[in-house]
Amino acid sequence: MAALCRCEMDIKLIAANLEDLDTILQMQKEAFSELYAKYQDTETSPATEKYEDILFRFNQPETTYYFITTDNTKVGAIRIVDCKDGVTRKRISPIFIMPEYRNKGYAQQAIKEAERIHGKQHWKLDTILQEKGNCYLYEKLGYQKTGKTEQINGKMTIVYYEKD
């Protein structure tokens, strides 16, 4: 008999609370450390953020941080900005998967779950243009480039996406 295919993983988004912010910060620093080493983006890299940065965003009423979990294991996190006003686009910023759990479909399932929770329409996000895997993931999920880009440094450009 063939092995079972777990094409739809059992991903759950679990809302973080104030006591979880240290964990989120440490996970974020580890998850983004490779990109920071590659692009040396000291101004906007999540790897260089401080606790106060996470706390500031956590306290915004439109922000929810979630742990991305499978089998009760935290494999990453995602921050959703949702003003719930029907006008402002919902935003993913950031999403990350820990290095040992990458390339297993967790990010894709986490985004689908975030869209299920917050509504499938009217989203935006941005990513590093040079990271083709990230671009591929978002485009596969229906996000389209807006045409806006922002040069961060000589190695890195941010590309903006929207989904309606």
Domain range enclosing 82: 11-119
Give domain status of residue 73, yes or no.
Answer: yes
Total domain count, the chain: 1
User: What whole-number distance in Å separates Cα of residue 144 and Cα of residue 99?
Assistant: 26
Give domain status of residue 138, yes or no.
Answer: no
CATH of the domain at 31: 3.40.630.30
- Considering the chain, what is the average pLDDT of its residues? 94
Give domain status of residue 5, yes or no.
Answer: no
- The tokens describing 140, both together, are 């596969």
Specify the pLDDT at position 78. Answer: 98
Residue by residue, pLDDT tens for the chain (164 residues) are 333 344 456 899 999 999 999 999 999 999 999 999 999 999 899 999 999 999 999 999 999 999 999 999 999 999 999 999 989 999 999 999 999 999 999 999 999 999 999 999 999 999 999 999 999 999 999 999 999 999 999 999 999 999 99
Q: What is the pLDDT of residues 110-144, one digit of tens each?
A: 999 999 999 999 999 999 999 999 999 999 999 99
Give domain status of residue 72, yes or no.
Answer: yes
The single-letter code of the amino acid at 118 is H
20 and 65 in contact (C-beta within 8 Å)? yes
User: What whole-number distance in Å separates Cα of residue 12 and Cα of residue 16?
Assistant: 12
Cα–Cα separations (whole angstroms), residue 86 to 83, 119, 121, 127, 163: 8, 10, 10, 24, 14
